[in-house]
Amino acid sequence: MRIVNGWERACAVFLFLAATAISSPAQRFSTLVNFDGTNGSDAKPDSLVQGGDGNLSGTTSSGGANNFGTTFKVTTARVQ
C-alpha cells in the first residue's frame, strides 16, 4: 500500500475544489436602481433590514424631495 504525502494530498484537494467551482452555477448581478439625488443618494447596503414580508428595506442619508434622504424597499424575488 502506498502512502500519500502532503503535496499529493494538497494537489488532490485543489483539483477537487477546482472541479466543483467550474460546475457551480454562476450568479448574475443586475443594477436595480441608480440613486441620482432626486430619489435619494448615499445608500448604505449594510443598513438593509428584512421585513416580515421578506422584502428588504433601507434608507438613504441624503437626496429626495427636501434632501433629507429617502426610504426604499427591494423585493427578494429572483430577477431574470
pLDDT tens-digit readout, 43-52: 877 778 999 9
Residue 52 lies in a domain: yes
- Residue where the block lists cell 504525502: 5
pLDDT band per the 50, 70, 90 thresholds, residue 80: very low
Q: State whether residue 44 is helix, strand or coil.
A: coil
Residue 49 lies in a domain: yes
Cα-atom radius of gyration of the chain, to the nearest Å? 23
Q: Give the count of domains, the chain.
A: 1
Query: What are 28's three cell numbers?
Result: 448574475
Domain of residue 59, residue span: 6-74
Residue 45 lies in a domain: yes
Residue 37 lies in a domain: yes
Residue 11 lies in a domain: yes
Alpha carbon 71 to its chain centroid, in Å, reads: 20
Query: What are 60's three cell numbers?
Result: 438613504
Residue 41 lies in a domain: yes
What does each C-alpha distance from 17 to 8, 23, 31, 79 come to in angstroms?
14, 10, 30, 28
